[in-house]
Amino acid sequence: MYEIKCLNKISEVGTSRFDENYHCSESVENPDAVLVRSASMHDMELPKSLLAIARAGAGVNNIPLDKCSEQGIVVFNTPGANANAVKELVLAGLLLSSRKIVPAIEWAKTLKGKGDEVGKLVEKGKGAFVGPEIGGKTLGVVGLGAIGILVANAARSLGMEVYGYDPYLSVDAAWGLSRSIRHARTLDEIYASCDYITVHVPLTPDTKGMINKESIAKMKDGVRLLNFARGDLAVSSDVISALESGKAAAYVTDFPSDDMLGVDGVIAIPHLGASTPESEDNCARMAAGELMEYLQNGNIKNSVNMPAVSMPRDCSSCSIRICILHRNIPNTISRLSGALAESGINIENMQSKSKKDYAYTILDVTGDVKETTAEHIQTFPEIIRVRILR
Ligand SMILES: NC(=O)c1ccc[n+]([C@@H]2O[C@H](COP(=O)([O-])OP(=O)(O)OC[C@H]3O[C@@H](n4cnc5c(N)ncnc54)[C@H](O)[C@@H]3O)[C@@H](O)[C@H]2O)c1
Ligand SMILES: O=C(O)[C@H](O)COP(=O)(O)O
């Protein structure tokens, strides 16, 4: 029985994929795997039993990736599964940042009780809520991954002039990008050209605080900023100063901090980007599938800390699969195959790949694989974790 611990509420569309070989609940003590959304795992003790974590979503800054890699815990996310939900809210954000919709709605509520006067008061007061159209304006999209691409293409079809910046753009992503998106080679080009700037990059030491005094100074006067990626991408005191001085006209954020709340020009949304039934179902379905495939077959797809390695279990003569997470250093494979040969075990099929400092090897074997074989391999200093799947 595989024990799965849920740290957040996960859509049943995902958890119902677990069959009678799985037990999934919030109160599991020694989990084989964890399913999580945004709950922070940084201060959590990671039990020895833990083999994998699946983030039902995109951002993995709530998970201690280095610690997981060292302990042989494979971390998955669900690329693209919530991208459409975020794109739709970003489009709403573009309009909210322009058309003074939120204060106008609040003002309209104050007319309650004015009876037949309401129509006249609306016409008299609406002049306070004039805001520009987005059509014909320039939008800079920073980060052209699953979300950035959808936002760029959609804004283009709404009549915006769109600039995209992503120095690590993947080939797949490039195929998905409309040809009419302008390629910005530097962030400065985005800052100098764009009336609206939206960021869709992961939070990393490189991107933390990228919206700050210096970058804002390079932006156009009256720039409207949108942050549906992570709060710490922006230095909040610098954004507040820019709003107060009029340098920035709006800051739409899905990650409000205390100091931002109530500031004129801040449109604070309570992290709703991925909160649609469709996206919650997509993420949960994908995350549960990734865990099952890894726990049962040792296959890794969509991991953020380990290489993608998959082999079908179609070797009719070999019922045993050995899965080894190890360091990416020379001679490891030959030591492994030597140790297996000494125990009379033959490798029938094999796949091995590396990702930065780590590597993963799957071996379909014939012969008498004893637990002691795994224990012996586990003593090699380059080996992080060995699993035998029967
Ligand atoms: N508001 C929400 O609910 C919500 C939902 C999903 C994702 N997110 C956030 O949005 C981020 C992006 O999500 P995604 O699904 O598009 O991820 P993704 O991995 O598909 O795309 C990220 C893109 O950013 C690019 N990138 C990385 N560093 C960069 C840099 N310094 N400059 C420019 N580009 C850079 C990458 O090359 C990649 O193309 C996530 O990491 C997460 O933090 C928020
Ligand atoms: O990175 C993500 O996928 C989003 O921030 C969504 O987070 P959530 O699953 O907690 O809504």
Per residue in 224-273, pLDDT tens? 999 999 999 999 999 999 999 999 999 999 999 999 999 999 999 999 99
21 vs 166: CA distance, rounded Å: 43
Pair 166, 228 in one domain? yes
To test the pocket of ligand 1, the residue of 175, 190, 200 to mutate (highest count of ligand atoms within 8 Å of its CB) is: 200
SS (H, E, C) 215-275: HHHCCCCCEEEEECCCHHHECHHHHHHHHHHCCEEEEEECCCCHHHCCCCCEEECCCCCCC
Instruction: Report the side by side order of strands in the sheet with 52-55.
Output: 22-25, 2-6, 33-36, 52-55, 74-76
* Number of domains making up the chain: 3
Pair 169, 235 in one domain? yes
Q: Which atom from ligand 2 is nearest to the alpha carbon of 271?
A: 11
Contact yes or no for 6/33 (Cβ under 8 A): no
* 39-47 own/partner pairs: CB under 8 Å, 24+ apart: 39/7, 39/8, 41/7, 46/71, 46/73
Distance between Cα 289 and ligand 2 center (Å): 18
Distance between Cα 216 and ligand 1 center (Å): 20
DSSP conformation class of 212: S
User: pTM here?
Assistant: 0.97
Nearest residue (by CA) to ligand 2, atom 1, is 59
Collect all residues with Cβ–Cβ distance below 8 Å to 207 and sequence separation of at least 6.
201, 233
Q: Which atom from ligand 1 is nearest to the alpha carbon of 207?
A: 31
- Local confidence band at 146 (pLDDT 50, 70, 90 cut-offs): very high
Burial of 279 per CB tally in 10 Å (0-12, 13-18, 19+): buried
Contact yes or no for 259/1 (Cβ under 8 A): no
The ligand minimizing its distance to the Cα of 269 is 1
Q: Which atom from ligand 1 is nearest to the alpha carbon of 274?
A: 3
Pair 325, 244 in one domain? no
- Local confidence band at 319 (pLDDT 50, 70, 90 cut-offs): confident
Pair 286, 354 in one domain? no
Ligand 2 lined by 79 (C-beta under 6 Å): no
CA nearest 233: which of 246, 217, 251? 251
Pair 150, 201 in one domain? yes
The pLDDT of residue 41 is 98
Q: Is residue 143 part of a domain?
A: yes
Domain boundary among 243, 268, 293: 268
Pair 293, 330 in one domain? no
Q: Tens of pLDDT along 47-93?
A: 999 999 999 999 999 999 999 999 999 999 999 999 999 999 999 99
Whether residue 318 is predicted with pLDDT greater than 90 in this model: the reply is: no
Assign residue 26 the CATH number of its domain.
3.40.50.720
Assign residue 362 the CATH number of its domain.
3.30.70.260
Contact yes or no for 253/267 (Cβ under 8 A): yes
Ligand 2 lined by 275 (C-beta under 6 Å): yes
The ligand minimizing its distance to the Cα of 147 is 1
> For the chain, how big is the Rg over CA atoms in Å?
26
Q: Is residue 321 part of a domain?
A: yes
241 vs 26: CA distance, rounded Å: 43
189 vs 199: CA distance, rounded Å: 15
Neighbour count for residue 347 (Cβ, 10 Å): 18
Q: Tens of pLDDT along 278-303?
A: 999 999 999 999 999 999 999 999 99
Pair 388, 332 in one domain? yes
311 vs 353: CA distance, rounded Å: 12
Pair 345, 365 in one domain? yes
- Got the DSSP string for 142-211? E--SHHHHHHHHHHHHTT-EEEEE-TT--HHHHHHS-TTSEE-SSHHHHHHH-SEEEE-----TTTTT-B
Q: Is residue 180 part of a domain?
A: yes
Burial of 182 per CB tally in 10 Å (0-12, 13-18, 19+): middle
Ligand 2 lined by 279 (C-beta under 6 Å): no
- Local confidence band at 107 (pLDDT 50, 70, 90 cut-offs): very high
Q: Stretch 8-12: mean pLDDT, rounded?
A: 97
Q: Tens of pLDDT along 166-183?
A: 999 999 999 999 999 999
Q: Which atom from ligand 2 is nearest to the alpha carbon of 272?
A: 11
Distance between Cα 18 and ligand 2 center (Å): 22
CA nearest 252: which of 276, 270, 237? 270
Pair 151, 218 in one domain? yes
Q: Stretch 315-336: mean pLDDT, rounded?
A: 94
Q: Is residue 381 part of a domain?
A: yes
Pair 285, 202 in one domain? no
Q: Is residue 120 part of a domain?
A: no
Contact yes or no for 359/328 (Cβ under 8 A): yes
The ipTM assigned to this model is 0.99
Query: Who has greater pLDDT, 318 or 206?
Result: 206
- In this structure, the residues whose C-beta lies within 6 A of any atom of ligand 1 are 57-59, 79, 82-83, 86, 142-148, 165-168, 173, 200-203, 206-207, 228-230, 254, 271, 273-274
Domain boundary among 268, 295, 320: 268
The pLDDT of residue 315 is 83
Phi, psi (deg, nearest 5) at residue 349: -140, 150
Ligand 2 lined by 273 (C-beta under 6 Å): yes
Range of the structural domain that residue 191 is part of: 134-268
- Local confidence band at 317 (pLDDT 50, 70, 90 cut-offs): confident
Pair 143, 259 in one domain? yes
Ligand 2 lined by 58 (C-beta under 6 Å): yes
The pLDDT of residue 212 is 98
Q: Is residue 118 part of a domain?
A: no
Scored b (16 or more CB within 10 A) or e, 124-152 reads eeeeeeebeebeebbbbbbbbbbbbbbbb
Q: Is residue 124 part of a domain?
A: no
Ligand 2 lined by 69 (C-beta under 6 Å): no
Q: Is residue 96 part of a domain?
A: no
Whether residue 140 is predicted with pLDDT greater than 90 in this model: the reply is: yes
Ligand 2 lined by 63 (C-beta under 6 Å): no
Distance between Cα 298 and ligand 1 center (Å): 27
The ligand minimizing its distance to the Cα of 168 is 1
The ligand minimizing its distance to the Cα of 89 is 1
Distance between Cα 63 and ligand 2 center (Å): 13
Pair 286, 352 in one domain? no
| Residue 368 tokens, joined | 């008498």
Q: Tens of pLDDT along 370-383?
A: 999 989 999 999 99
> Rounded mean pLDDT of the chain?
97
CA nearest 385: which of 46, 27, 79, 62? 46
